[in-house]
Amino acid sequence: MQSKGISFLGSRVRAPFRLICFPYAGGDAVTIFRNWPQTLPPNIQVCPVLMPGRGVRSAEQPFTNILSAARALGTELRPHLDRPFAFFGHSMGAVLSFEVARLLKMNGSPEPLHLFVSGARAPHLPDRHSRTYDLPEAEFLWELQRLNGTPAEVLQNPELMNLLLPVLRADFEACQTYVYNCGCTLNCPVTAFGGLQDVVTHDELDSWRKQSSGAFRMHTFPGDHFFINSQQQNILKILSAGLAECFQNRRAA
């Protein structure tokens, strides 16, 4: 089942809690998160965010600006925030989920009960890396290969890459031109995940604690930027425990 901007994986239509999942650059959220319901508790409905330019929204122009994307996605998601929810986002998705959470709070809507961010430096920190979204094609493909997030069989398939490159460039532009604006601080707990071999450093990950007055936790795993794939089961165990804690705290309130 799906609606504008969001999909509902599996058959848990009456689950009392939603985990809304934001994809990394170039990724289709339904594909990235399709296996998560098999591991997460049955009271959690996994809801991938449907981004323009991919999947069922492939005919739409992808976003090239994080704040514009956050405003549009916030509007699309708002009808589906009618039950307790948490956000999860990896890389680009981490920054998007953060900005959507801030917009919800500033507009008087409930913020997530927990924000899980993965593979991204804290948003207020400057980008240490060079701009790559407008590189010539050969150099841009080399950059994709270096990041190790695009399968070799896809990189070597000209037809697939012809479809994927505009989305990747748009997503990279959104990330690499993102400008953090000082604004409201979240109140929800934040949990940050990182890869020990990722370009995102320990300090950059730890700085997420400054974006919320709530509790902060950090977990690191072996792996590069896409540890979200190799460490999926470990991440889901921590997510399950964190979401269970959300339930307990909500009942106690």
Q: Does residue 92 lie within any of the structural domains?
A: yes
**Residue 11: per-residue pLDDT:** 57
**Residue 160: per-residue pLDDT:** 81
Of the listed 91, 97, 118, 212, which one is catalytic? Answer: 91
Query: Cα dist. 220→75, 100, 191, 195, 224 in Å?
Result: 33, 25, 11, 5, 11
Q: What is the rounded CA–CA span in Å between residue 45 and residue 196?
A: 30
Count of H helices and E strands in the chain? 9, 8
Q: Does residue 100 lie within any of the structural domains?
A: yes
**Domain count of the fold of the chain:** 1
44 closest CA partner among 234, 253, 186, 245 = 245
Q: Does residue 162 lie within any of the structural domains?
A: no
Rounded (10°) CA dihedral 245, 246, 247, 251: 100
Q: What is the rounded CA–CA span in Å between residue 61 and residue 165?
A: 13
Q: Does residue 244 lie within any of the structural domains?
A: yes
Query: Is 240 marked active-site?
Result: no
What tokens does 98 get?
Answer: 């953060």
Residue ranges making up the domain that contains 68: 2-127+180-252
19 near 51, Cβ under 8 Å?
no
Q: Does residue 71 lie within any of the structural domains?
A: yes
**Residue 100: per-residue pLDDT:** 97
190: domain CATH number? 3.40.50.1820
The CB-based long-range contact list for 33-36 (8 Å cut-off, 24+ gap) reads 33/9, 34/9, 35/232, 36/9, 36/236
Q: Does residue 243 lie within any of the structural domains?
A: yes
Kindly give the confidence (pLDDT) of every residue in the chain, 253 residues in length, as a single tens digit, with 9 standing for 90 and above.
556 678 876 656 778 899 999 999 988 899 999 999 999 998 999 999 999 998 889 889 999 999 999 999 999 999 889 899 999 999 999 999 999 999 999 998 889 999 999 999 999 998 888 888 988 988 988 888 887 767 666 777 888 888 889 999 999 999 999 999 987 899 999 999 999 999 999 999 999 999 999 999 999 999 999 999 999 999 999 999 999 888 777 766 5
